[in-house]
Structure 1
Amino acid sequence: MTVRRTGGRSARVRDAVHRAVAELVAERGHGAFSVADVAARAGVADTSIYRRWGGLEALVTDVAMTRLAADFPMPDTGSVAGDLRAYAEGVARDVRGPDGLAVLRLVVALSTAGPEGLAARDRFVAERGRQFEAMLERARERGEPAPEALDIVDHILAPLYVRALFGLGDLTPGHAAELADRLVAQSRS
Structure 2
Amino acid sequence: MAIKEGLRPGGRSARVQESIHSAVRELLEEQERSTVTVPQVAARAGVTPSTIYRRWGDLSALLADVALARMRPDSEPAKTGNLRGDLRAWAEQYLDEMSSEPGRNMMRDVQSSATPGYCVSILSGQLQTILDRYPNEPKPSVDRLINMAVAPTVFRILFASTALEVEELHRLIDIALAP
* Cα offset, 1:162, TM superposition: 1.6
Q: Are 1:75 and 1:83, in contact at CA under 8 Å, matched by a contact in 2?
A: yes
* Secondary structure in 1 matching 2:138: coil
* Cα offset, 1:138, TM superposition: 1.8
For 1:20, the equivalent position in structure 2 comes to 27
CA gap of 1:88–1:54, structure 2 versus 1, over 3 A, is: closer
* Cα offset, 1:34, TM superposition: 4.0
For 2:127, the equivalent position in structure 1 comes to 132
Q: Are 1:156 and 1:176, in contact at CA under 8 Å, matched by a contact in 2?
A: no
Q: Are 1:101 and 1:164, in contact at CA under 8 Å, matched by a contact in 2?
A: yes
- Higher share of residues assigned helix: 1
- Cα deviation per residue 1:58-104 (whole Å; 9 max; x = unaligned)? 52332121121137953332211111111111111112334111111
* Cα offset, 1:178, TM superposition: 3.5
Q: Are 1:49 and 1:55, in contact at CA under 8 Å, matched by a contact in 2?
A: no
How many residue pairs were aligned? 171
TM-score (normalizing by structure 2)? 0.70
For 1:179, the equivalent position in structure 2 comes to 169
In structure 2, C-alpha distance between the alignment counterparts of 1:77 and 1:38, rounded to whole Å: 41
Q: Are 1:85 and 1:176, in contact at CA under 8 Å, matched by a contact in 2?
A: no
The reply on whether 1:188 has 2:178 as its aligned counterpart is yes
- Structure 2, unmatched stretches of 5+, are 1-7
Higher mean C-alpha displacement, 153-162 vs 55-64: 55-64
- Structure 1, unmatched stretches of 5+, are 111-116
Structure 1 vs Structure 2 CA RMSD: 3.7
For 1:68, the equivalent position in structure 2 comes to 71
* Secondary structure in 1 matching 2:117: helix
> Could you tell me which of 134, 142, 153 is aligned with 1:160?
153
